[in-house]
Amino acid sequence: MRFGKIKHLHFVGIGGAGMNGLAEIMCNLGFRVSGSDLIESAVTRRLQEFGVDIMYSHNAQNISGADVVIYSAAVPENNPELVEARIRNIPVIKRAVMLAELMRLKYGICIAGTHGKTTTTSMTGQVLTAGGLDPTIVVGGKVKSLGSHVRVGTGDYLVTEADEFNRSFLTLFPTIAVITTLELEHLDSYKELESLKEAFLEFASKVPFYGSIIACIDDEAVRDIIPKLERRIITYGINPEADFQPEQVQFDQFESSFLVRWKGKSLGYFNVNTPGMHNINNALAAIAVGLEMEVPLEVIRSALKDFSGVFRRFELKDEIDEIMIIDDYAHHPTEVKASLNAAKTGWKDSRIIAVFQPHLYSRTRDFFKDFGESFGDADIIVITN
């Protein structure tokens, strides 16, 4: 793969979620890759093992020799590397634009929505890999089975998260789009729910006429936009009108089992090693994508049973004297509630102690009341500073 005469790619904020995965893909494709970040981490050390040159500072000299500079939405426009690149007339592009360029060469399967993107993308990637489609996978979290945020495949498919933050997902052109949920989170990008709905409608409109949209209709806002989607729609959820529905759901610690019905027809039982009703919905989305891609049903069933999860998504860190320590990235009231409910339903006789670290001052302020109501399943709540 080549982008004209572009040979050297420089990533600003290379250790960030999504950025490091993209850097790894480009390195695997034969480009020279460099990057900068303020903090050394496991992901930056992994990239260095691949030969990526990383500077742990932000200054103008870091972009020496770069043909293009890539940055994420989290990097401010006054970053000295971006400023220097523009002075030198070096192309400066957002991460989402680079991802969109990769997608031009493949069929894009984009997982969008306020919640569940990382797990659903990981499950979907595992299903397509098991089905022999050899996809490239780009995930915001570190997938346990991959030991990485990415998988570089030689097949025709790119499975990726589509992040609505800063409207970056509008650069993508998916063949299949999954919409998990629609809820306000990034109030700096969307002031009200209607503007978020409009952005998702624009995203969904990029699906070609031969593609499909797979949507969770348990979510009221998703149901609201479906009549406006002029594409083939496949629905999932516990909603009785959904095409894919779970029945006879059972939770036993980390394992969840459920029967899947597709338009009333039984597809048999499925098992996933990720607790909580929200993860059953994530699995339904992966099942729907797999069947769209003509992956055999038994292969899908086996792939989901073997799915080992994503780091920091209800991850067991340790067990000491019958005390289980779970780490979860939940940083939105809905996610906190879902994670605690997963603990409550999976470990019915256990006491739950929730230790919560607020993620951002602005998010804590904007959703203060909702956060207060999200800890109902916890017996003891500890809030860190």
- Whether 344 sits among the annotated catalytic residues: the reply is no
Q: Both ends of the chain: CA-CA distance in Å?
A: 47
Q: What amino acid is encoded at 28 in this protein?
A: N
- Catalytic entry in 24, 44, 81, 117: 117
Query: Which two structure tokens, joined as six digits, stand for 293?
Result: 């891609």
- Catalytic entry in 44, 114, 118, 181: 118
> Residue 378 in 3-state DSSP?
coil
> Residue 179 in 3-state DSSP?
strand
Q: What amino acid is encoded at 170 in this protein?
A: L
CB contact at 8 A, 138 and 159? yes
Q: What is the DSSP letter of 336?
A: H
- Catalytic entry in 161, 164, 183, 335: 161
- Whether 117 sits among the annotated catalytic residues: the reply is yes
CB atoms within 10 A of CB 45: 11
- Whether 194 sits among the annotated catalytic residues: the reply is no
Query: Which two structure tokens, joined as six digits, stand for 216?
Result: 């969770």
| Burial (CB count within 10 angstroms: exposed 0-12, middle 13-18, buried 19+), residue 370 | middle
Non-local CB neighbours of 142 within 8 Å, separated by 6+ positions: 43, 148, 149, 310, 311, 312
> Residue 121 in 3-state DSSP?
helix
- What is the DSSP secondary-structure string of 244-263? EEEEEEEEETTEEEEEEEET
How many helices (H) and strands (E) the chain has is answered by 12, 19
Q: What is the C-alpha separation between 279 and 97, in angstroms, rounded?
A: 30
Q: What is the C-alpha separation between 3 and 280, in angstroms, rounded?
A: 40
**Active site positions, annotated:** 117-118, 161
